[in-house]
Amino acid sequence: MSWSELGPLLGQALGQTLYMVVGTLLVGGVLGLVLGVALYVSRPRNLLPNRAVAGVLNVLVNTVRPIPFIIFVTAVQPAAIAVTGTSYGPTYALFAMAVMATFATSRIVEQNLVALDPGVVEAARAMGAGPVRIITTVLIPEALGPLILGYTFLFVAIVDMSAVVGAVAGGGLGNFAIVYGYQRYDYAVTWLTVAVIVVIVQLAQALGNLLARRVLRR
């Protein structure tokens, strides 16, 4: 195939990857934040200690997280079809990625909250603040710097996921590299795809570092 034919295809694949990655980051990031906060506050002696909730959430997270992603993508097919109405392509992939990303994010969020000085939470409690206010005005703002770095790390992991998902569900740069590079023994195409991915990751990391530095310089 000529570069004039490949070019638009690469552009389309890039668009699909960005769609999947950004979509996953938004959906999985938000749900993961909620789940992570829930994991944190339900711990013993925490803001809303609840042994049952903590137990269930931990079992859930620990069950899903170790599943190899390539298998997970195929295993969630029934649920994905029910939600997205499709069993193929970027939207289907986004569903599988968002679910996995939610669980991955939750641990990142939980770890960063655990590292917080419990004294600030104590101070807010002593001033009469309720749990919701403490979560939104103390926990998240105080952990914001590390959280941004955590989400940057997550972004890179999601880019990786999107390549895997491309091989199974179709779409994105991963699929492009496999179909037009690997299967046609065209290393130039494979390397070009790799280069595009590297650039995306570098940009994301640079942005994350910048934001985190902004927030942490205080």
202: left (phi over 0), alpha (psi -120 to 50) or beta: alpha
138 half-sphere exposure, CB direction, 13 A CA radius: 22
69 contact partners, CB below 8 Å, separation of at least 6: 100, 161, 164, 165
- 107 is an interface residue for other proteins by CB under 8 A: no
CB 22 to other proteins: min, Å: 26
H or E stretch covering 214: helix 187-216
122 touching other proteins, by CB under 8 A: yes
113 contributes a contact to other proteins by CB under 8 A: no
Q: Which stretch binds other proteins (CB under 8 A): 89-97, 131-139, 146-154, 182-190?
A: 131-139
Of positions 22, 53, 144, 178, contacts other proteins by CB under 8 A: 144
User: Per rule CB under 8 A, is residue 207 in the interface with other proteins?
Assistant: no
Among 82, 123, 195, 210, binds other proteins (CB under 8 A): 123
Q: How far is the CB of 212 from other proteins (least distance, A)?
A: 13
| SS3 labels along 171-194 | CHHHHHHHHHHHCCCCHHHHHHHH
Q: Which of 4, 85, 128, 183 binds other proteins (CB under 8 A)?
A: 128
Q: Of 85-93, 99-107, 136-144, 162-170, which segment contacts other proteins by CB under 8 A?
A: 136-144
Residue 144 beta carbon to other proteins: minimum distance, rounded to whole angstroms: 7
- For other proteins (CB under 8 A), the number of binding residues is 19
What is the DSSP track for 112-145?
A: HHHTS-HHHHHHHHHTT--HHHHIIIIIHHHTHH
Contact present, 70 and 160 (Cβ < 8 Å): no
Residue 137 or 209: which CB sits closer to other proteins?
A: 137
Q: Is 125 in the site for other proteins (CB under 8 A)?
A: yes
- Tokens, residue 165: 């998902």
Question: Which residues form the interface with other proteins (CB under 8 A)?
Answer: 117, 119-120, 122-130, 133, 137-138, 141-142, 144, 218
